[in-house]
Amino acid sequence: MGDPAARTFLITGGVRSGKSWYAEQLVAGLTGPVSYVATGPQPGPDDPEWSARIAEHRSRRPADWSTVETLDLATTLVNAPGPVLIDCFGTWLTAVIDELDGWDRPVLQWKPDFDLRFARVLTAWRSSSRPIVAVSNEVGWGVVPAYRSGRVFADLLGEVNRSIADVSDRLVLMVAGRPLVIPDERQ
């Protein structure tokens, strides 16, 4: 993982920038049983493109990694027996908003429930002694989305990314397949 003092990593970037591949390379060099936390929805029969993406991710995982399909990231971080790879916060956020029926309800009605759930994730992230590598998407670098759902997603993912980066040892931005380690200038 490069720096032996680094235990937690957030890997972010655009679509198809190499985030997942890079995260997998970081975790592959670690000892202990790896828990690959897949947060994305299962593909339906009418979405062959999503099925192909999932198949590609699965094909890269070593056979000895265990796959955990869950939205309960906090419990997984607490109970995992070894290193954890979360892929990804963008699909996790989408599924949590779905679960909270947040796409069609005012944000103020469901955001407190989201905030509690995410606070548990942050607490588990901070208190874990095992290596954690998480993948997330960078959104919002362009035009503000024209639709409410896009704005809600971009705003919340920005909050998630900022909060996870704040408690991570390393932040890596993937650009066209190349990792850029972002220095922590807050110190």
Domain ranges for the chain, please list them.
8-182
- Predicted model pTM: 0.89
pLDDT of residue 40: 72
- Residue whose C-alpha is closest to residue 23's, from 125, 137, 126, 119: 137
The residues facing 132 across adjacent strands are 8, 84
Q: What is the pLDDT of residue 123?
A: 97
How far is residue 163's CA from residue 121's CA, in Å, rounded to a whole number?
10
Alpha-carbon dihedral of residues 56, 58, 59, 65, nearest 10 degrees? 150
pLDDT at 101: 95
Position 186 scores a pLDDT of 76
Regions of the chain with pLDDT less than 70: 1-5, 41-44, 50-51, 54, 57-58, 187
Q: Do 140 and 158 meet the contact criterion of CB atoms below 8 Å apart?
A: yes
**What is the model's pLDDT at position 1?**
52
What pLDDT score was predicted for residue 4? 62
The whole-number pLDDT of residue 45 equals: 72
* Residue among 173, 161, 134, 163 nearest 26 (CA): 134
Integer Cα distance of 127 and 26 in angstroms: 21
DSSP E strand stretches across 6-87: 8-13, 35-38, 66-69, 84-87
Tell me what pLDDT residue 137 has. 95
**Is 57 considered catalytic here?**
yes
Name 126's Cβ contacts closer than 8 Å, sequence gap at least 6. 167
Question: Which CATH number describes the domain made up of 8-182?
Answer: 3.40.50.300
The number of CA neighbours under 13 Å toward the Cβ of 153 is 23
At 112 the pLDDT is 97
Question: Which entry of 9, 12, 39, 57 is annotated as an active-site residue?
Answer: 57
Residues 9 and 169 sit within 8 Å (Cβ to Cβ): yes
